């Protein structure tokens, strides 16, 4: 989950030369806003390192509908991937192709609106700050995310189908289906620790979760600019549907791994809250998106989160790695770090010293 405030009006400055392939009326003015950081001779980052490409562990959730041995094997695969990778991908996940296709079509239609219309649409339909672009707190180019997003609390779209808004009603349908999947996976992961809990069913209701629609415009200086800077997600779980362009990378064994895109799967990753709750058994790993010089990229992320007053603490007997904290406290600390430092610190702020 990239925790960023809404970018305000950019500074007025002419560019020579432009750094996108071709500026579109729908694009946020990323070039104007961040050219001054590129102009700093001592501030330009090194080229991004070459990374390995790999496929995430692939798990067929249809096994959960079969016999006991198949179900147990599937649950063990989910837990193993969460311990060793922090990421995995699933097929036969119960989300219809029609829902995924309609969600992507509505998302693309929204992002093709002119920039000013997108700001106005967000102001009229979603909570303040839902439309985001760039990184307003960035003081160096390596802290800039070359992307735009609608980061929407589900409270904004729940029940919206009654208002004849095709985007909001599609978002609601998508979120309700994905929420069921997230709860199933969370319960499995909890059971595999040997510590069953009702925290997910009782606190991770749709109204406390978030849906994020992402667009990554082409960027001609993709060797210097990330689509989303390196981060971990402030959630229990994240469910991601991406297109076939690629760009997602994650850290494994101290190396950046490029994830082979597969639009026929959903990607699941462990968030900070699950790492804390599991006492570091499951890993919330750093990930990022690299920009592309020619092609735009779209993805849709569902963040499975509890209510703000939910207390996160491990139920295991061994010494707890993290002190108890509420989700609201965690979000407040993340926001403060992003605003003051330009990036997120995360769980290390809550170590049980």
Q: Is residue 132 predicted with pLDDT exceeding 50?
A: yes
The secondary structure of 153-209, three-state, reads: EHHHCCCHHHHCCHHHHHHHHHHHHHHHHHHHHHHHHHHHCCCCCCHHHHHCCHHHC
306-333 tens-digit pLDDT? 999 999 998 777 799 999 999 999 999 9
The 10 Å Cβ neighbour count of residue 348 is: 7
Q: Is 71 labeled as catalytic in the residue annotation?
A: no
Q: Is residue 18 predicted with pLDDT exceeding 60?
A: no
User: Does 42 or 138 have the greater pLDDT score?
Assistant: 138
- Ramachandran angles phi, psi of 53, nearest 5°: -110, 140
The two tokens of residue 215 are 């667009």
Query: Rounded to an integer, what distance in angstroms lies between the CA atom of residue 134 and that of residue 149?
Result: 9
Residue with tokens 């592309």: 292
Q: Of all residues in the chain, what percent carry a pLDDT higher than 70?
A: 89
**Count of positions (residues) in the chain:** 353
Instruction: Give the pLDDT mean for 234-239.
Output: 98
Helix (H) or strand (E) holding 270: strand 266-270
Catalytic residue among 198, 297, 323, 349: 297
189-210 tens-digit pLDDT? 999 988 777 889 889 987 789 9
Residue with tokens 């991770």: 204
């Amino acid at each position: 989950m990239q925790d960023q405030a809404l970018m305000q009006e950019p500074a007025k400055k002419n560019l020579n030369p432009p750094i996108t392939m071709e500026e579109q009326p729908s694009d946020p003015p990323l070039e104007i806003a961040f050219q001054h950081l590129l102009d700093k001779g001592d501030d330009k980052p090194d080229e991004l390192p070459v990374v390995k490409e790999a496929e995430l562990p692939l798990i067929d959730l249809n096994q959960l509908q079969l016999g006991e041995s198949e179900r147990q094997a599937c649950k063990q695969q989910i837990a193993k991937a969460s311990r060793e990778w922090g990421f995995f991908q699933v097929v036969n996940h119960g989300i219809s192709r029609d829902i995924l296709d309609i969600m992507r079509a509505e998302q693309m239609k929204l992002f093709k609106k002119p920039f000013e219309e997108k700001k106005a649409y967000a102001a009229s339909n979603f909570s303040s700050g839902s439309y985001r672009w760039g990184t307003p707190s960035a003081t160096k180019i390596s802290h800039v995310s070359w992307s735009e997003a609608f980061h929407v609390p589900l409270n904004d779209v729940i029940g919206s189908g009654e208002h004849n808004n095709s985007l909001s009603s599609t978002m609601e349908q998508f979120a309700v289906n994905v929420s069921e999947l997230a709860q199933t996976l969370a319960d499995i992961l909890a059971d595999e620790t040997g510590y069953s809990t009702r925290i997910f069913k009782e606190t991770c209701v749709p109204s406390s979760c978030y849906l994020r629609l992402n667009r990554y415009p082409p960027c001609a200086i993709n060797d210097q600019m990330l689509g989303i800077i390196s981060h971990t997600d402030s959630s229990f779980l994240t469910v991601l549907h991406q297109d076939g362009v690629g760009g997602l990378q994650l850290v494994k064994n101290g190396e950046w791994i490029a994830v082979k895109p597969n639009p026929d799967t959903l990607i699941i990753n462990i968030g900070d809250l699950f790492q804390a709750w599991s006492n570091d058994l499951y890993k919330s790993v750093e990930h990022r998106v690299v920009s592309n010089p020619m092609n735009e990229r779209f993805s849709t992320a569902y963040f499975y989160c509890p209510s703000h007053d939910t207390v996160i603490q491990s139920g295991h007997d061994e010494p707890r790695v993290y002190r108890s904290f509420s989700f609201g406290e965690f979000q407040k600390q993340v926001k403060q770090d992003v605003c003051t430092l330009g990036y997120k610190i995360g769980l290390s702020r809550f170590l049980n010293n």
